[in-house]
A and B are shown apart, each in its own frame.
Chain A
Amino acid sequence: DTGVSQDPRHKITKRGQNVTFRCDPISEHNRLYWYRQTLGQGPEFLTYFQNEAQLEKSRLLSDRFSAERPKGSFSTLEIQRTEQGDSAMYLCASSSTSGSSYEQYFGPGTRLTVT
C-alpha cells in the first residue's frame, strides 16, 4: 500500500493560465475525492468518483473546473483561466466500498499559487 499520491506538489501559475493536477489513489480503492483547503480552513468537498463515474459535484466547482477519472484509476483536476481566488491546497482522497471501511485516505496535496 503506497498511499495516495498527487502530482505536482506545488504549482505557481499566472492568472488566466490553465493548470492540471493528477491524483493516483490507493490501488484497490474504487472511490476518489477532490477537496480544496484554504489557509485557516478545513478541506471543502469538490467532487467524487466511483470508478469512472462522477457522482457528485459541489457548487464550489465552477464551470472553470473539470475533473475526470477515465479508466477508474487515476484522476485529473483541471482549472481553466485561473484566478487569484483559486490559490489553495487541492487534496485528493480515496476509499473502498468493501467491508466496513468508511474512512477516506488523503494524499499530500497540490499547493496552487496564482500570481
Chain B
Amino acid sequence: AQSVAQPEDQVNVAEGNPLTVKCTYSVSGNPYLFWYVQYPNRGLQFLLKYITGDNLVKGSYGFEAEFNKSQTSFHLKKPSALVSDSALYFCAVRRANFGNEKLTFGTGTRLTIIP
C-alpha cells in the first residue's frame, strides 16, 4: 500500500518570505514523488517530480522540493513567496515499478500568501 500525509491543512506566509509545504509518504520500494497545484475551478497542474538522482529538484514557478529518504519526506519550498502562489497544493506518490501507474495523493494544503 502507498500513502501520503500532508500534516497542515492551511499554511499562511507573508509575501516575500520563504515558504514550506510539508509532505511525508509511505510506499514499498523506491518512490516516485510529485507536487501538483490546483487553482479554483481548474484542474491539477504539475509542478515538479523526484524520480532518481539529486535529492533537490527544481520545478515550475521557482518551486523546489527536497527528497529525504531517511525521513520519507518530500517538502515543497520556495525562497520568496508571491501572492499568486496562493492555491491548493497536493503531494502524490507511486511505486517505482513499471506497470504501477496509480498515483496516491495527500489531502492537500491550502497555501495563502498575505500581501
Query: CB within 8 Å of B: which residues of A?
Result: 4, 31, 33, 35, 40-45, 48, 55-56, 58, 91, 93, 95, 100, 102-109
Contact = CB atoms under 8 A, between A and B. Distances in A.
B12 interface: no
Contacts of B49: 102-103
Contacts, number: 55
A41 B45 contact: no
Contact of B102 (A40, A41, A45, A108): A45
Contacts of A35: 103
Interface in B39-73: 41-46, 49, 51
Most buried by B among A41, A42, A91, A104: A42
Contacts of A107: 43
B25 interface: no
A56 B102 contact: yes
A1 B57 CA distance: 25
Given A45-B102, A56-B102, A109 B108 contact: no
A48 B44 CA distance: 17
A105 to B, nearest CB: 6
Per CB-CB distance, the 7 closest pairs between chain A and chain B, nearest first, are A42-B105, A106-B43, A106-B44, A108-B43, A45-B102, A103-B46, A43-B105
A45 B103 contact: yes
Interface of B: 4, 32, 34, 36, 41-46, 49, 51, 90, 92, 99, 101-108
Given A45-B103, A106-B45, 10 more contacts: A40-B108, A41-B107, A42-B105, A42-B107, A43-B103, A95-B101, A103-B49, A104-B46, A104-B103, A106-B44
14 contacts: A33-B101, A40-B108, A41-B107, A41-B108, A42-B92, A42-B107, A43-B103, A44-B105, A55-B101, A56-B101, A102-B49, A103-B49, A106-B46, A108-B42
